[in-house]
């Protein structure tokens, strides 16, 4: 309703509530200019935040971007960054409504996304109950495999490398899962085991995962063999693909595209085929 250029933006919130999340992304910690283009950085910065919005069951509406830039940064890089932010906004029907530009030693992005629940109850971390099924949608481990490939100086297979550069979160599935009655939901940004752990802890339940139900693509197995890494570590602990994982009460059906991978039980923590995942799954690939 009021976009960039005034003291603040004004955004419609017809629902009477607004969903908001913020992330800070810093060069050489969250992205590298030699691994990702400016457009990639813009898309991923927006995706990181939109993913949190849809994980509440909301539709992203607006993006605000605080941009810290070294004084010698190429103007074309800034244009491409902006293009990437706008492209990702286009994926969800949101708009960049405000921002701030300051000088910084390294490229710094403070990104905030807003969203509209459109009348839905927000889907929180604490709603999982024993008997619920656990399901996910989106990609698991792709970005982590891509990061591992880039870290070792390789540039292919491009499908996995690009997954690190430019996630493709299943945005429409967040509101769809809420409509379908999801009892708890989060996006996979810390890794499947770690993020399910957040649901288990907040809900006071145990989550059992059946490893065989979790897909490991052939390409990822091949790369794992070549790099001497167990590809399951990418699938179970890799973040940055921004898959969605949710619990659904028994008797409800996850939306099309979701894969059931386990169940909620009494107890605590996350078990994969009955065992704890080493290190609790807390492995950050960002």
Q: Can you give the binding site for its own copies, defined by CB under 8 A? A: 1-2, 5-26, 29-30, 52-53, 55-56, 58, 62, 64-68, 97-100, 102-106, 108-115, 117, 122, 124-125, 185-187, 202
Say which DSSP state 15 is in: T
Give 83 or 124: the residue with its C-beta nearer to its own copies. 124
Give 126 or 273: the residue with its C-beta nearer to its own copies. 126
Q: Facing residues of 208 across strands?
A: 263, 271
Helix H or strand E segment including 95: strand 95-103
Structure tokens at 197: 């752990």
Reported as half-sphere exposure (CB side, CA atoms, 13 A), residue 199 has a value of: 38
Minimum separation from the CB atom of position 282 to its own copies (A): 15
Q: Say how far apart CA 148 and CA 250 lie, in whole Å.
A: 38
Give 30 or 166: the residue with its C-beta nearer to its own copies. 30
> How many other C-beta atoms can be found within 10 angstroms of the C-beta atom of residue 218?
8
Minimum separation from the CB atom of position 228 to its own copies (A): 28
Give 86 or 210: the residue with its C-beta nearer to its own copies. 86
Residue with tokens 């499947």, as numbered in its chain: 192
Give 172 or 232: the residue with its C-beta nearer to its own copies. 172
Minimum separation from the CB atom of position 141 to its own copies (A): 20
Helix H or strand E segment including 89: helix 75-92
Q: What are the backbone dihedrals phi and psi of residue 37, each rounded to the nearest 5 degrees, phi first?
A: -75, 165
Minimum separation from the CB atom of position 3 to its own copies (A): 11
Minimum separation from the CB atom of position 96 to its own copies (A): 11
Contact between 15 and 61 under an 8 Å Cβ cutoff? The reply is no
């Amino acid at each position: 309703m009021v976009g960039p250029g005034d003291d603040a933006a004004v955004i419609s919130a017809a629902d009477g509530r607004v969903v908001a999340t913020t992330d800070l992304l810093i060069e050489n910690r969250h992205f590298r200019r030699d691994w990702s283009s400016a457009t990639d950085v813009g898309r991923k910065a927006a995706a990181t935040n939109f993913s949190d919005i849809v994980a509440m069951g909301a539709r992203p509406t607006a993006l605000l971007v605080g941009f810290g830039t070294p004084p010698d940064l190429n103007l074309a890089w800034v244009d491409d960054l902006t293009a990437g932010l706008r492209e990702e906004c286009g994926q969800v029907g949101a708009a960049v409504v405000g921002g701030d530009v300051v000088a910084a030693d390294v490229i710094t992005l403070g990104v905030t996304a807003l969203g509209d629940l459109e009348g839905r109850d927000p889907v929180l971390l604490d709603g999982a109950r024993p008997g619920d099924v656990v399901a996910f949608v989106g990609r698991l481990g792709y970005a982590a495999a891509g990061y591992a490939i880039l870290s070792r100086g390789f540039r292919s297979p491009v499908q996995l490398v690009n997954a690190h550069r430019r996630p493709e979160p299943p945005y429409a599935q967040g509101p769809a899962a809420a409509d379908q009655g999801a009892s708890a939901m989060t996006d996979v940004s810390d890794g499947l085991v770690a993020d399910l752990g957040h649901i288990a802890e907040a809900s006071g339940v145990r989550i059992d995962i059946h490893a065989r139900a979790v897909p490991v693509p052939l390409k990822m197995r091949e790369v794992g063999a070549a790099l001497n890494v167990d590809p399951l570590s990418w699938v179970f602990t890799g973040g940055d693909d921004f898959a969605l994982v949710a619990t659904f009460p028994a008797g409800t059906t996850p939306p099309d595209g979701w894969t059931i991978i386990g169940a909620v039980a009494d107890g605590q923590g996350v078990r994969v085929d009955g065992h704890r995942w080493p290190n609790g799954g807390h492995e950050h690939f960002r």
